Structures are given as C-alpha cells and as structure tokens.
Amino acid sequence: MTAPSDTLELARCTDLTRTYGSGAAAVHALHGVSCTLRPGMQVALTGPSGSGKSTLLHLLAGLDTPTSGTIAWPGLDGSPAGRPGVVGMVFQGPSLLPPLDVTENIALPLLLAGCRETQARERAAAALHDVGLDELAARLPEELSGGQAQRVAVARALAARPRLILADEPTGQLDSAHAAQVVRLLLDAATLLGAALVLSTHDLTIADRLPGRWQMADGLMIAGGDDPC
C-alpha cells in the first residue's frame, strides 16, 4: 500500500466553537479550537470529563456541526456525514445492534456505503480475523464479553479501511489487559492503513503509547492541535 503524502490534510478545524442550548442554560463545549490531522498521525486526546473531547471527535466525524468556526476534510473529499465507512468511529459504550450477529454488525456500514452483500461479508470476516475473533462470527452481541464486544466494534470501524480513525474512550469500560489489546489493534490498523488515529483517554499509560498528544480543558485545546506529531 502506498502511504499518503504527509502534507495532505485529512481534516482541518479552525476556531471551532460548539454551544448546546441558549441563554443561562447554555453549555459551551468548545471554545475556539483549531487542529489539523494528516495521514499517519497518531494522537492521544486527553483531558478531564467535560473538557470537550467527545464533542471534538463528533465534529471531526461529521456527526455534529459547529456553532461557529470551520471544519474541512480536504483529504476525505468533503464531509464524512452521510458517508458510512469514510471515518472509522469507535465509541466507549456498547454500540453493536442487538438483533444482528457479529458478522452482520461489522458488515452493516459497508452495506450502507453501497457494497454488495457478498463483498461486505467477506470484508467483515477479514476484519474479524484481524482482531482474532473468527470464532464469534455468528454470535449475538448479548453473547459477548465486554472485551469481545469492543474488539468487534474495532473490527467494524476498520472493515471499511478508513483514512481517519476516531476512538472515543474505547477502553473506558475494559480491564487493563483488554484495554491494552484494543489500543494495540487500533495502532496496528492505523499503521497498516496509513490512517490518522485520534484516541481520547483519561489513562495516561494509554496516552503515552501514541506519539502525539492533544490536551483539552474547559473546552479549550491547551496543548497540541497544530503539532505535526
């Protein structure tokens, strides 16, 4: 696989603000945040709860829109909103659909992106193999442990071979052994794909495994952002 140019900007945020509600009840989640992501960057996004980490990841994924400021995705050919698989997103909590088995959960974003069913299932099987869970292909989410479910969620995010991977506290509900396994899977996959990875975490041991660091507090990015890592 040819590595993308390290000068290409996958995503660029300029003076982003995000406010929820209005008046005295307004919650100001982000204040003038600027950052740039390029292929191959691996960034730990740190900060206390309520610092704006999840809000920033949702904006980068195209799942939300800023109140002011601009966000562009020149290296993704425009916003990923409504384009399943362009960004690989891994959430903290359970995110698998209960009625679907493991293979169907992984294949669903590929089907929504227009893949043929045969191709989607083949790529789902390959992603499941990559995370070492081939034997769980036909199981339902309720039959999985927390660690297994999160590895399946990682497989789902990676099956589309995204150029940008965003992980929002993906180890927050896992023990240390399973947390280390999930982080290793994400780092290895990002390296293989030449993708950018942003992983938010409270755990500085995990953060130290990524070469880049963006630090947030009270909706502000107080370190990093335009650091090329």
Reported as a single tens digit per residue, the pLDDT across 119-142 is 999 999 999 998 889 999 999 999
CA–CA gap between residue 229 and residue 212 (Å, rounded): 5
pLDDT in tens, 44-62: 999 999 999 999 999 999 9
Q: What per-residue confidence (pLDDT) applies to 2?
A: 37
Question: Residue 26: what residue type?
Answer: A
Is the pLDDT at 5 greater than 50? The verdict is no
Query: What mean pLDDT comes out for the span 144-153?
Result: 91
Torsion of CA 107, 109, 113, 116, to 10 degrees: 10
Distance CA 45, CA 229 (A): 13
Question: pLDDT by residue (tens digit) across 28-45?
Answer: 999 999 999 999 999 999
Sorted by where each starts, the structural domains of the chain and their CATH numbers stand as 11-223 (3.40.50.300)
* Cα 70 to chain centroid, rounded: 20
Give the Cα separation of 165 and 154 in Å (integer). Answer: 10
Q: From CA 205, how far away is CA 186, in angstroms rounded?
A: 15
Report residue 78's pLDDT band, with 50, 70 and 90 as the boundaries.
very high
The answer to whether residue 93 scores a pLDDT higher than 80 is no
Please state the φ and ψ torsions of residue 2, each to the nearest 5 degrees.
-80, 125
CB 47 within 8 A of CB 36: no
What's the pLDDT at 8? 84
Say if residues 128 and 119 touch (Cβ distance below 8 Å): no
pLDDT of residue 95: 85
pLDDT of residue 175: 87
Sheet containing 212-217: give its strands across.
87-90, 164-168, 196-200, 42-46, 212-217, 220-223
Give the pLDDT score at 7: 59
